[in-house]
A and B are shown apart, each in its own frame.
Chain A
């Protein structure tokens, strides 16, 4: 539904450009072309079973990643290279007597016969496969990035911790000189103001981990080459998992006052208490939902804007010839640089917002209400 709205929006955007004085057949070509662009962008911001690095002489060069499936017949593992770069559902891999296909980065049970396009899947009206799926625990491009960021964070911060041991008087040396201001920022500007001097120590490790985890993955998403470039922090599953952790920490640590404010708001008349309880209860869930949608939408939007600007070059080249492509290219690149600079800011701000809101929610759940 949302994707469709997005497609329509992009379509109308490109159409509005192309309608400026061109004949009907050209517009039809464009629609074909621009649908490919949409497809390309969506493919880039989505997860994938292999890590595509570049195309060499028309052949894709990519790092195969392990596919781990929990199928009807039990655990199935193989390398993604067995699909031979196919993501159109045309190559069948047979494991434990089950036929599997990769359609747009997702694994499905294959049909017995291919459809008109040669794909072994059945598509519905919105071109989504209706084939049955299995539980997919594959090490996808995003999971690969996830582990990479994990390793980088461990090296960075365990290295920082070690740097203190080398110094006298606990003065930061080496890498700790760089990381300490960031850690102190999370401590003094996020944890203490929102949770309070007394209780912040308990939640500080969580806030530090989540801040650097999100920030680093946001940065990884901005770097446009292997082994980075995966849109992990713009993936709803990733943000959903993190927001769920915040949700659990908030509510498991909620004190009596917190629950009282939700189910039996003090200081208001009884009918109002009854009226407010469901609203407050919804609020418990909307807070983490807003957390994960905000991060997902901001990061994905950044990726889409950059990809759309790059696509403009090819769009103009295909429509108006090579010259137009060369003319648009520098403008497009200048815009990409500009947006990328903004994105550098945005990725830090989004990590900050996620962390400060988590801290705020935790602070609200653990606050002592002396005033009541």
Chain B
């Protein structure tokens, strides 16, 4: 049982050899080719699907980007408009302010001038009046002897106090 028979070794070798060549040529080669072809076609299909997915993703990313840009642009425009508005208001305010202060100043200058003129007129008028009054008083006073003495005396009294 433990000694290998030369006959069976011979036939096994022959049989295996024949089987190997026949199966390699007519079975393994076409079967493995089919399997490999199928595997590669599946791989191709998967690759393509992956590629399509990536493209889709790119497209989506593009869309997103464009949307984002548009949004940013709108935002910027709104901001600009708002700034412009604020600036215009501020400018107008400034203008009005300067204008107003200018007018007030002019008014003040005019008022001042009027006031001075009025004062001058008033002064001269008062001086005339005073002279008139003084003339009348003096005339009245000096017509009476007693009163002239009395005046002199009171004046002297004042002068003595000084």
Contact = CB atoms under 8 A, between A and B. Distances in A.
Interface string A144-169: 00110010011001101100110001
Contacts of B161: none
A241 B15 CA distance: 11
A213 B28 contact: no
A140 to B, nearest CB: 7
A154 B22 contact: yes
A171 interface: yes
B46 to A, nearest CB: 15
A300 B1 CA distance: 10
A143 interface: yes
Interface size class of B (residues with CB under 8 A): 20 to 34
Contacts of B30: 161, 164-165
Nearest to A172: B34
Interface string A168-187: 01111000100110011001
Contacts of B9: 237-238, 240-241
Contacts, number: 133
A3 B28 contact: no
Interface in A21-49: 42, 45-47
Contacts of A146: 8, 11-12, 15
Contact of A46 (B1, B12, B29, B34): B1
B37 interface: yes
Contacts of B137: none
Contacts of A79: none
Interface stretch (A202-210, A312-320, A334-342): A202-210
Given A3-B2, A137-B10, A157 B16 contact: no
A44 B20 CA distance: 29
Nearest to A161: B30
B98 to A, nearest CB: 87
A153 B22 CA distance: 10
Given A158-B26, A161-B26, A140 B41 contact: no
B27 A157 contact: yes
A150 B6 CA distance: 20
Contacts of B6: 135-137, 237
A180 B7 CA distance: 34
Contact of B35 (A3, A45, A169, A184): A184
Contact of B12 (A158, A170, A187, A238): A238
B131 interface: no
Given A169-B38, A183-B31, A143 B7 contact: yes
Given A137-B7, A157-B31, A161-B31, A241 B26 contact: no
B5 interface: yes
A138 interface: yes
A252 to B, nearest CB: 15
Contacts of A171: 38
Nearest to B31: A161
A2 interface: yes
Contact of B2 (A2, A138, A139, A164): A2
Given A135-B7, A170-B37, A240-B4, A209 B24 contact: yes
B70 interface: no
Nearest to B6: A135
A365 B32 CA distance: 24
B16 A245 contact: yes
Given A147-B15, A245-B13, A245-B16, A47 B8 contact: yes
A237 B15 contact: no
A355 interface: no
Contacts of A42: 1
16 contacts: A47-B5, A140-B7, A143-B8, A146-B11, A154-B26, A154-B27, A161-B31, A170-B35, A183-B35, A204-B28, A204-B32, A209-B16, A209-B28, A213-B16, A238-B12, A245-B13
Given A240-B4, A241-B12, 12 more contacts: A2-B1, A3-B1, A136-B6, A143-B7, A143-B11, A146-B12, A153-B19, A157-B31, A158-B23, A183-B31, A205-B24, A235-B8
Interface of B: 1-13, 15-16, 18-20, 22-24, 26-32, 34-35, 37-38, 41
Q: 3 shortest A-B CB distances, which residue pairs?
A: A157-B27, A237-B8, A237-B4
Interface of A: 2-3, 42, 45-47, 106, 135-140, 142-143, 146-147, 150, 153-154, 157-158, 160-161, 164-165, 169-172, 176, 179-180, 183-184, 187, 201, 204-206, 208-210, 213, 235-238, 240-242, 244-245, 300
